[in-house]
Structure 1
Amino acid sequence: MEAPRHDTRGIVDPSELLTRVRFRRHEPAEPLRRYVEWYWLIDWDLPEPYASHIVPHPSVNLTFQWDEAEGPPYAEVTGVALGLYTRKLTGRGRVCGVKFRPGGFRPYTPGTPTSRWTGRALPAEEVFPTATADAARTIVTPTDDHTRVTALDTFLLALPHTPDPQADLAMALVRNIRTDRTVRRVGDLAETHGLSIRALQRLFSTHVGVSPKWCILRYRIHEALNHAGTHTDIDWATLATDLGYADQAHLVRDFTATVGVPPGAYAQGTEGRQRNQK
């Protein structure tokens, strides 16, 4: 399995976020890596509120959170968010998150299609009875990363799960979409892997929570977002072609609908903020 990546794909204006919070990724214990992509830890202590924005991956997340001014620690399951995910950060707080691989949450909830969680955030105790307030406190209150990561390992290793070859297939297919920019059509993906389009759609609905077409489009936006945040003098027409769009207008439309601003405006705003931080 892949080790945690160090890119910031999906984070809107990552340089701005990283000036506000401490963000780290850690590998889970080896037996968990089949289904868990990484742990992500965030701590903040802010003089004024800040809203972070994420273009989510097709992953389910289990988070243990503590907003110190709001109340005691708690745990939450967040399904794949279909639009921009916004989290308002205030005062002092921290999150210890578990990012499951796309398709990797299903073995922990074998009786429930992953699409049930799509677009939802709910108390984790409704999904995992052991995700109590006491469990959240054990995980999120230690000050050092090692203790938090060990507590996450302990919690997850105790969860029952059912190995599922279909989950393994779903994880492999989503990884194929993410890493191979030539994957542009659902029909071609299905044919390459010996599946009908309908069977592929059912597999993704049950194990990933979103359609294969949604995954293809979402990873295109991740690439465009990353490009807009790290390059200047972008040839948007060429980028649109490289990402598999019919034309630049389709890229602009999808980017604007997902991120909230056109890609050119986003790139200019990011470049300006980066200059001001130097």
Structure 2
Amino acid sequence: MKLKGIYCPMITPFKNDEIDQEGLEKNIAFLEKEEVTGLVPLGSAGEFSGLSIKERKEVIKTVMDTTSLPVIAGATSMRMEEALEIIAYSADMGAEAALVAPPYYFRTSQEGLFSYYSNLSSHSMLPIILYNIPVFTGNPFLPPLVKRLSELDNIIGIKDTSGDMKKFPEIVNLVPEDFSCIIGADHLLLPALVTGASGAILGSSNLVPELPVKIYRTWESDIDRAAGLQKLLMNIVRIMDTGTFPAGLKYAMNVLGLAGGDDVKAPLLNLTSEEKDIVDRLLKKMEAKK
């Protein structure tokens, strides 16, 4: 199962502190129209850590009931039992794989990560995609560890959001051909594709999916055009970097008529008026360059 193309790590819209199911459905319809390859609910952009197990299942059910696109379910948890519960539910609902970052708070060794994922994958009802995001977890996947994990039957890929473009090509060169190396850093989409990424899971695709989709489809035949599109994508990166992620992204979605929802989950904060002005200017800049 080689993952290719642009997948969207969906935001979770909230209304009155509840999951906005109609908003989710609206965003899915938009993403399907824009021809993303698949959907990834309950990742970092989906604010999984602020949701209960019941709420996470509610998101999975809404997504699976609404779309015919392939779905990779976010299943990161501090407890393996909870991760496996979410994976089992997602499998029953028809998801194709699970995206799982390491448990956070406590730091562990590379051997500790190997033990955790070896155990997780042997009990998982879905293929596992490793999620390398050490800025949040404190537990990085180094290339030799990824090579070892890639040899396990039920681990099929890695989403790398570390931003380390020295280690990413090394991982690509170490793993089997059918192991999916997916980039998760929007500003590195084009460099990652050039160095062997088979696809991407990008927060920017919530807002302007046409940009990463065009970069993915054109880079091999027209690298100059892809480079121009990558420069344009940097405006969305700046939007996502405004405030506490994903507050800037959700505000921008509301401005463009999508369902960003009322707020972000505590302890995150909504944008200040000054931050909203920054996002508004970036959106106008994007519109002027179309």
Structure 2 length-normalised TM:
0.29
Structure with max Cα Rg: 1
Structure 1 length-normalised TM:
0.30
Q: Specify which structure has the higher proportion of strand.
A: 1
